[in-house]
Structure 1
Amino acid sequence: MDRRRFLATAVAGIAGPFAGVACAGRQGGAKPVSGYGPLRATRDLRDGKVRLHLPDGFSYRSFNAVGDTFSDGSPVPGRHDGMAAFPGPRDTVFLVRNHEVNGPVGAFGDKDRAYDPMAGGGTATLQVTRHGEVLSSRPSLTGTMLNCSGGPMPWNAWVSCEETVNGPDVGDDSTGGDNSKLTRRHGYIFEVPVSGTATARPIRSAGRFAHESAAFDPASGALYLTEDCYHFPSGFYRYLPPRHPLKAGRLLDGGRLQMLAVEGMPRADLSAGRRPGTTYATTWVDIDDPDPRFTGRPPNGEAVQAVGRQGRAAGAAIFARLEGAVHHQGTVYFVSTQGGATAPGDTPPGGFGDGRGQVWAYETWSGRLRLVYESPRSAALDLPDNVTVSPRGTLVLCEDGDGANHLRGLTRRGEIFDFCRLAAVQGDPGAEFAGTTFGPGGHTLYVNVQSTRGASFAIWGPWQRGAF
């Protein structure tokens, strides 16, 4: 999206596309709608295998899977995650995609350009057609770790987020291996230009914590950030750079990090169940030490809370696992993966938070926080993760649940529907959707599947027939 369109979108319709949900206020939103119709096993145009279940009329092609090669011949790493689409020449699309690789497994791509040559995460940049045919592909940020999600920036860049605080100064996490082998501290955000290769310089003032997503507000220049702590409370942050990024042409370090709080309710616990449409007035508290340095290698569980505890000590609100975030028409929509009440018959998912998911809306122009949707049961919505917005203003939610994972739509009226179901991945029951993003013009929905044979997917069809 170019700068002029991005700014116009930011000020259009100050009520926001989900304002009607506040009036409806019904538990779990409205009755589910049919969306695009029943889901049927659909063959992948790449090789004829069934990987997705889609409504009639929709097609897809998978591409750039784990173990494939980039254009330079180097292998494609695993753990495909957050992603954004940018316009390319002659009706093509540039995709910038995260790889959520943990541990001191060595950098992919050119190790001389890696932030930490021992870390295996980062980003890849691909040029593809609207039907998922790969024209070129390359590593674009390497040597980072657990790059989970992030967000697109209107100056033709992607911000990639590390969901960890691993480093040689921190004790090992439960899945990452020996942190003493790492050469750099992790837990930062990095800017990745669509053209060229990232500088691999972290924006340290934006915090060292378990970053998940980033959503940019062009009106104020603030970058809104989510935090995903599995076992501990999470927070909603904003980073105020020293100069407006649309004037600087990039995201500058040296700004101020803040954490959201509810007015009159210090340390408000918003992770529990509540009625959709519930609205709060908010304020922001400063984080005095956004980039903590540790001595004595404290336990990983202590280090990952160092920034959030500062905010909560000043009254910041508590959420359960904040993951995907997207900016649309002056509002940041963000997902609390395990927020909400536990429905009868559902089992708490483990970790912090007992619900099956919430969707929140923060109005950047008014400071109001509103609960848009809370899952009434896992069959309606099961642990939402990444989120994007369709050309019509419908949210597209990626599930990371315990059963068959879906792409689900959440309409402006609070109605939720199934659009796509992931076929069972043999030997990988934990396979999930991630990185959903519409290409320019809305012709194609690109999405990743994170699994042992994860890949990217291009989906297209009769969008005009339903809410997307």
Structure 2
Amino acid sequence: MGINRRTLLRRSGQLGLGVSLFGSMQGLLSAPVAVAAPTQDVTGYGPLLDDLDGMLALPEGFSYRVVTEAGQTSTYEGDPSPGIHDGAAAFAADDGDVLIVLNHEVRGGPDDDGAVPHAKGLVYRDDAGGGATIIKTTREGELLWETVGIAGTSTNCAGGITPWETWLTCEETEDDNQGWVFEVDPHDLDANQDPQPITTLGRFRHEALCIDPDTLVIYLTEDAEGPNGTVYRWLPPSAFRGRSGELKQLDDTDGELAAMSCTDDDGSLVDDLEQAEQVDTVYTVEWVPVEDRAAENGPLRSAEGITRAQKLEGAWWSDGGAYLVSSYADSHRGQIWFYDPAEFTLRLTTTFATEADGETVEAPDNIVAAPYGGLIVSTDGDGDNHLAGVTADGDAYPLARSQMGSEFTGPTFSPDGTVLFAGIQKPGVLFAITGPWQQDISSAAAATRETRSTR
């Protein structure tokens, strides 16, 4: 039996939350703060130990619990939990629990495996099976309930958090007039009724995005080919204030959408980010305005004079700029770049692959700042897939290995930094990982590592 969404919120202490997490979320949007154990001169947490249950290999002292699992757990309304997990974000509930918005990258229709249930009032298109769910857990990551946040969208890959405490879910497709961004409010479920695309952010194969919390400028990545995708910047109109639901009220001509154009020291256009081979390579960035945001005359990325990359993936705002992932550089080893909006520069901070603790870490995908410093990335490569850390010194280390034959997705920390939520895409499992998190993980063996950074 269904339940009124306002009633669901009232029963769980969520009605009228507003933006209670702004301060703590700002910590992850900008410079992360350490929250756990004393600093130790180590890189990572040691070898990964195989799981007898065949799910996650973790370092000694770490453990996981299953939060949701496709077809095994159920939504509050009684439908089987959807699958094909991807991008996610965690928010603070006003009662101290945790709210998670989780994407489901379903490419087919509502009857496909893993499809998001078509809940009344939350369906954008009747013929699409993707979407996002909203999950509530305890502070320790124990499931309390799951419900639909949006349905009837397609190929919901990644997205990004907003400074006003919502989630922007991205369609990674441009088929059949799809390829939009939608907003999901985890605090006010009624705000998700009658979903509408955010046309001002353009129609293309969206992957991820991040937002400058001071200027509300949005940076978006595109995972596409024929030609390869690019990075976009959206400048908000002067009247934009950043509130839940405000983006979908804008027209597709509001603000400015532009594509990245990089030049090297000689002033030559950088056609593809893959041509950078050395960490600390720096390019100058200009932004080429994009017309026809609905892509009625062809893909936006077909514009002349822009810089592209194969498999642009995760995006995260930290340290006063945007970290951007180029996953397929150097035969799918991958890169992490940092865009500095004050200097209009793009700097290569990290290159993959790396060998650490008997694991080969490569092919970065989703990315998040760790509350104890550095970054956490999920990997989607041709070999073993990992959750991996990247230290402030640029050393990559394995944190978890998938034993389920599918990629990691959507790493996101609980607001207090004690639980790392992450998914395995197929069939779709969301985990809560806990352990002895360290502050300021550094390396005594940086000179021997293949992965480097000068952050």
- Report the TM-score range of the alignment, normalised by the length of the smaller protein: 0.7 to 0.9
- 2:262 equivalent in structure 1: 262
Indicate how the Cα distance of structure 1 residues 10 and 161 shifts in structure 2: closer, same or farther if over 3 A, else same.
closer
- 1:308 equivalent in structure 2: 301
The separation in 2 between residues aligned to 1:223 and 1:244, in whole angstroms, is: 15
Q: TM-score, normalised by structure 2?
A: 0.81
Contact kept? 1:262, 1:317, Cα under 8 Å: yes
SS of 1:218's equivalent in the other structure is coil
- 2:77 equivalent in structure 1: 72
SS of 2:368's equivalent in the other structure is strand
Q: TM-score, normalised by structure 1?
A: 0.79
The separation in 2 between residues aligned to 1:56 and 1:9, in whole angstroms, is: 26
The separation in 1 between residues aligned to 2:240 and 2:61, in whole angstroms, is: 41
Would you say 1:109 and 2:118 are equivalent positions? Answer: yes
The separation in 1 between residues aligned to 2:132 and 2:107, in whole angstroms, is: 13
1:27-176 → structure 2 map (5 Å cutoff): 34-42=43-51, 49-67=53-71, 68-105=73-110, 108-110=117-119, 112-167=121-176
Indicate how the Cα distance of structure 1 residues 247 and 416 shifts in structure 2: closer, same or farther if over 3 A, else same.
closer
Displacement, 1:34?
3.9
Indicate how the Cα distance of structure 1 residues 151 and 10 shifts in structure 2: closer, same or farther if over 3 A, else same.
closer
Contact kept? 1:74, 1:109, Cα under 8 Å: no
SS of 1:73's equivalent in the other structure is coil
Instruction: Name the amino acid aligned to 1:88.
Output: A
- 2:294 equivalent in structure 1: 291
Displacement, 1:207?
1.0
Instruction: Name the amino acid aligned to 1:239.
Output: W
Instruction: Name the amino acid aligned to 2:274.
Output: S
Indicate how the Cα distance of structure 1 residues 373 and 99 shifts in structure 2: closer, same or farther if over 3 A, else same.
same
Instruction: Name the amino acid aligned to 1:61.
Output: R
Displacement, 1:110?
1.5
Would you say 1:226 and 2:221 are equivalent positions? Answer: yes
Instruction: Name the amino acid aligned to 2:438.
Output: Q
Contact kept? 2:89, 2:101, Cα under 8 Å: yes
- 2:434 equivalent in structure 1: 460
The separation in 2 between residues aligned to 1:462 and 1:389, in whole angstroms, is: 17
Displacement, 1:422?
1.1
- 1:180 equivalent in structure 2: none
The separation in 1 between residues aligned to 2:91 and 2:268, in whole angstroms, is: 41
- 2:321 equivalent in structure 1: 331
Would you say 1:365 and 2:357 are equivalent positions? Answer: no
Contact kept? 1:272, 1:355, Cα under 8 Å: no
Cα deviation 1:112-163 (Å, max 9, x = unaligned): 5311011000000011013321111100111000000001112120000000
How many residue pairs get matched?
A: 397
Contact kept? 1:290, 1:307, Cα under 8 Å: yes
Which segments of 5 or more consecutive residues in structure 2 lack a partner in the other structure?
Answer: 1-19, 33-40, 443-455
- 1:347 equivalent in structure 2: none
Cα deviation 1:390-444 (Å, max 9, x = unaligned): 0133111101111211111111111111111111x2xxx4x11000001111010
Contact kept? 1:10, 1:219, Cα under 8 Å: no
- 1:443 equivalent in structure 2: 418
Displacement, 1:230?
4.6
Displacement, 1:56?
1.1
Cα deviation 1:332-359 (Å, max 9, x = unaligned): 11111101x3xxxxxxxxxxxx341011
Instruction: Name the amino acid aligned to 1:322.
Output: L
- 2:445 equivalent in structure 1: none
Contact kept? 1:165, 1:187, Cα under 8 Å: yes
Indicate how the Cα distance of structure 1 residues 98 and 12 shifts in structure 2: closer, same or farther if over 3 A, else same.
closer
- 2:446 equivalent in structure 1: none
Which segments of 5 or more consecutive residues in structure 1 lack a partner in the other structure?
Answer: 14-31, 44-48, 168-184, 295-302, 342-353
Contact kept? 1:146, 1:164, Cα under 8 Å: yes
SS of 1:205's equivalent in the other structure is helix
Instruction: Name the amino acid aligned to 1:158.
Output: W
| Segment drifting more, 248-257 vs 456-465 | 248-257
Indicate how the Cα distance of structure 1 residues 307 and 324 shifts in structure 2: closer, same or farther if over 3 A, else same.
same
The separation in 2 between residues aligned to 1:236 and 1:247, in whole angstroms, is: 22
